[in-house]
Amino acid sequence: MGLVVQKYGGSSVADAEGIKRVAKRIVEAKKNGNQVVAVVSAMGDTTDELIDLAEQVSPIPAGRELDMLLTAGERISMALLAMAIKNLGHEAQSFTGSQAGVITDSVHNKARIIDVTPGRIRTSVDEGNIAIVAGFQGVSQDSKDITTLGRGGSDTTAVALAAALDADVCEIYTDVDGVFTADPRVVKKAKKIDWISFEDMLELAANGSKVLLHRCVEYARRYDIPIHVRSSFSGLKGTWVSSEPIEQGDKQVEQAIISGVAHDTSEAKITVVGVPDKPGEAAAIFRTIADAEINIDMIVQNVSAAATGLTDISFTLPKAEGRKAIDALEKNRSGIGFDSLRYDDQIGKISLVGAGMKTNPGVTADFFKALSDAGVNIELISTSEIRISVVTRKDDVNEAVRAVHTAFGLDSDSDEAVVYGGTGR
Ligand code: ADP
Ligand code: ASP
Ligand code: MG
């Protein structure tokens, strides 16, 4: 008998009908002779609605209390799902993240899992139950407070439980048929990928392909847990994310030169204007940002103006951290020494990802050519060995993604990619 960990995202359990549909699917897996652990997200857009509600009572809600509030979303779906499964004549028990042994650090709203002790889950499935676990949440080892793992964190819960339980497979069920060469909501001609390496998936996820959370992929790579991303609305095979290519029929799926195009409109740009061009300035700025526990993404420093010896430093960061970053820099203005700060949240990032880039020198030139043909202006550039990203105006992003997708021959000539549910929020 195998042990299967399945994760169902918010769009799969958006309403009572969705919960009943998912319950049937879980029972099928159990009937096939598996032990089943199902990780579940909050229903539909519940998490966003709870955040909106919190912001109505406090513009910057206290981290501890926000976590307490948000974890309620997953509790609702786990209990309803367990009820629906029992209604189908099977035994099920629901568990909070804390009960499931998901132990984290103490960083509220984006805690990291440091250990998983799934004793209660193991006992529950050994007794013949289907175990339902609330995703996205854990408990701090030090403070014993309830924590959340950051938006989309149920994916990480699933992979962490799969690793701790030594599961045979971790299935991530969502509202599209797998990982596509671009977001199917933006590119109708996106193609489903049969297999993608952890490395390429990590870059796609880190650069905005929210079909999988990047921390979940990091975790899966570290413990070598293959992930099968598929739709909870169709019976189709999805995408395998793993270290080695999968077999299909009698041949192996090949590593693509370009895996796909990711985009992200959740970042903002801060420009620190009038910084003295001397050693230690960048260190002072980014120490201030790091002390506020904010992760930054791209950085660019302008050439300093000869007359003044002053320069500008721009960097991008999640919009959600914008206020905090501005406040931290303002507080340290005299220590750092700068004239002013500019905040721009009308930016977007487009990234081309693929391991084949390493050995194909023309890729960067073709990427820029596609953007220029589409009339898209580039503001920032960053690269890694297997990725090239640019920042543009937010309004240009969708057009740019489609142009790049076509230019690299990624458009499918068959059916349009299906999005089964969800609001894309
Ligand atoms: P869930 O609620 O199941 O966690 P998410 O909304 O977090 O679902 O992730 C699924 C969504 O990810 C899809 O609806 C799609 O719009 C988006 N997405 C972005 N990039 C991709 C991609 N490359 N392949 C598939 N889906 C993508
Ligand atoms: N409900 C949480 C969110 O919306 C976690 C998740 O869905 O993975 O971010
Ligand atoms: Mg998700």
Ligand 2: residue whose CA is nearest its atom 5: 152
User: Is residue 308 situated within a structural domain?
Assistant: no
Closest ligand 2 atom, residue 73 Cα: 1
Q: What is the domain count for the chain? A: 1
With a 6 A CB cut-off, is 176 part of the ligand 1 pocket? yes
In angstroms, the CA 115 to CA 104 distance is 7
With a 6 A CB cut-off, is 154 part of the ligand 2 pocket? yes
User: Is residue 319 situated within a structural domain?
Assistant: no
With a 6 A CB cut-off, is 25 part of the ligand 1 pocket? no
Alpha-helical runs (H) found in 10-118: 16-31, 46-57, 63-87
180: CATH: 3.40.1160.10
CA distances from 345 to 60, 185, 309, 393 (A): 18, 22, 28, 9
Whole-number Å distance, alpha carbon 191 to ligand 1 midpoint, is 14
Closest ligand 1 atom, residue 9 Cα: 3
Nearest to 386 by CA among 360, 408, 404, 407: 360
**pLDDT by position in tens, the chain (length 425):** 799 999 999 999 999 999 999 999 999 999 999 999 999 999 999 999 999 999 999 988 999 999 999 999 999 999 999 999 999 999 999 999 999 999 999 999 999 999 999 999 999 999 999 999 999 999 999 999 999 999 999 999 999 999 999 999 999 999 999 999 999 999 999 999 999 999 999 999 999 999 999 999 999 999 999 999 999 999 899 999 999 887 777 777 777 889 999 999 999 999 999 999 888 999 999 999 999 989 999 999 887 777 788 999 999 999 989 999 999 999 999 999 999 999 999 999 999 999 989 888 899 999 999 999 999 999 999 999 999 999 999 999 999 999 999 999 999 987 678 899 867 77
Whole-number Å distance, alpha carbon 17 to ligand 2 midpoint, is 20
User: Is residue 387 situated within a structural domain?
Assistant: no
User: Is residue 341 situated within a structural domain?
Assistant: no
DSSP reduced 3-state for 143: coil
Q: DSSP character for 280?
A: T
User: Is residue 80 situated within a structural domain?
Assistant: yes
With a 6 A CB cut-off, is 138 part of the ligand 2 pocket? no
In angstroms, the CA 364 to CA 352 distance is 9
Tell me the residue range of the domain where 82 lies. 3-252
User: Is residue 201 situated within a structural domain?
Assistant: yes
Ligand 2: residue whose CA is nearest its atom 8: 152
In angstroms, the CA 247 to CA 234 distance is 22
Whole-number Å distance, alpha carbon 352 to ligand 1 midpoint, is 17
Q: Which ligand is nearest to the CA of 173?
A: 1
Q: Which ligand is nearest to the CA of 9?
A: 1
User: Is residue 205 situated within a structural domain?
Assistant: yes
CA distances from 318 to 168, 247, 352 (A): 35, 38, 20
Structure pTM?
Answer: 0.93
The answer to whether 343 is annotated as binding is no
Residue 229 has, within 13 A of its CA and on its CB side, a CA count of 29
User: Is residue 17 situated within a structural domain?
Assistant: yes
